[in-house]
A and B are shown apart, each in its own frame.
Chain A
């Protein structure tokens, strides 16, 4: 067997080497980039021609963004929004996981709470915002309550169903080794339910964000939602787009962060269940 006759030579010899035809489908990012560029260009051209009260154009949005960042307004309102989101979400996390563990573990607690939970969960929470505004005023507290209400139920329901899914034999083994109820809860049930809880948290983050925007749209005093209402009333479309883009980025960022946390904290089970 001659050393010179390697596969490449044979292929060359038989003229089997073919350049694969250049196909557009092999370059997804090229298509994406072209699509976005064309869209932005068309928007720019068309947007410049129409009434700036109604439609803006990309460069104007960019300018508005720089202006809002420079004046510090965007950052200030973002921090206000994030503070209420953190407070409301934190409360729903603590209460949702706590009550969920209780409802999953004790059939009595489940039977007592379930009708109320299901009733409130079925009610579109947006419909309750006017009532909450009546009760809590227009300040920070009403936002926290609304965000809490939006984010609470996915966490509660997922935690409860996660706890109910913990296999009974694991709990029994724990019991057989003389684990107390507290130890069963902390060392067996909670870790086993963690993947479910994290899936609930991921749903809750998105809903909490929606709750934050709704609350701020209606109270219209501080935060990003209030900026939307304000600039909408002033017909400053470019600034509205800046806020919408910031909210979109915030949504993506929060979801990514939760997914990262989910992978880190609940690596042992990738199942997720979106209870709806």
Chain B
């Protein structure tokens, strides 16, 4: 369709061949990247000028990272931390889900246990660390206890509220078709509560990571937290950043992994509840 004269005039006035003015909002990815690069450059320049005891700079950190990885010291401590973390978190998940199911399904269990659960959940777990160290010593046991206590409550509370929201219609139908208590648990309640449980697991993973770092920093004998304390008391700031970066990556990795697991295991409901 041919354009009429007026339209052609308007088109000419628009002058589409003219280069569009550069708009920053069209290049947000570029802006992000340049923001990071600028930050790193400023850090490098500024960091080289100040006393290396207080602030390091990116290239020094990269050096320290290579050095620590080559000596194998870092891997050994990281592995130690991860083992403790896995044991503590595993115990927290198993017991948290078990107690949550029990408390959600049986009134008696709920009333018997909820005073302790609420009281312990309200107490900041870090405050318990000195006491746990007193009881369990400076070894792996105390750290496992800290990780366990940090991780159990999000799982327990979420499982509990997940079980409570399972519609009684579902359970009634199951019963009407002759399902035993065991089958009601494994075939109805557990699948229905799974999205909640996974949301709790996601919270627990993060909390337990904080728990183990704090515990290791406090005991300062082995693990990532001990490295943090050791390097900071030695004013080895460049080395100090290596475990910090590792922990940040670990945190991201764990939460991505749990999210993927959540999508696989409980794709039917994306609700989450952070209690």
Chain A interfacial positions (CB closer than 8 Å to B): 24-25, 28-29, 31-32, 35-36, 39, 54-55, 107-108, 110-116, 119, 122-124, 126-131, 133-135, 203, 206, 209-210, 213-214, 217-218, 225, 228-229, 232, 235, 237, 240-241, 243-245, 247-248, 251-252, 255, 274, 276
The 4 closest A-B pairs by CB, nearest first: A274-B274, A130-B232, A232-B130, A248-B123
B247 touches A39 (CB 8 A): no
Nearest-CB distance from A263 to chain B (Å)? Answer: 17
A126 touches B213 (CB 8 A): yes
How far, in angstroms, from A134 to B236 measured CA to CA in the complex? 11
Given A126-B217, A214-B126, A32 contacting B244 (CB threshold 8 A): no
How far, in angstroms, from A218 to B225 measured CA to CA in the complex? 13
* Total A-B contacts with CB atoms under 8 angstroms apart: 152
Nearest-CB distance from B261 to chain A (Å)? Answer: 15
B124 touches A251 (CB 8 A): yes
Chain B contacts of A214 at CB under 8 A? 126, 214
When the two chains form the complex, which single residue of B25, B116, B237 contacts A131, counting CB atoms closer than 8 Å?
A: B237
B134 interfacial contact with A, CB 8 Å: yes
Given A123-B247, A130-B240, A243-B127, A248 contacting B119 (CB threshold 8 A): yes
Nearest-CB distance from A214 to chain B (Å)? Answer: 6
When the two chains form the complex, which single residue of A107, A128, A228 contacts B25, counting CB atoms closer than 8 Å?
A: A107
Given A28-B111, A131-B240, A108 contacting B25 (CB threshold 8 A): yes
Nearest-CB distance from B101 to chain A (Å)? Answer: 18
A210 touches B124 (CB 8 A): yes
When the two chains form the complex, which single residue of B32, B107, B122, B240 contacts A111, counting CB atoms closer than 8 Å?
A: B32
Nearest-CB distance from A191 to chain B (Å)? Answer: 24
Within 8 A of A (CB), among B248-264: 248, 251-252, 255
Chain B contacts of A252 at CB under 8 A? 122
When the two chains form the complex, which single residue of A110, A135, A247 contacts B124, counting CB atoms closer than 8 Å?
A: A247
A248 touches B232 (CB 8 A): no
How far, in angstroms, from A111 to B203 measured CA to CA in the complex? 27
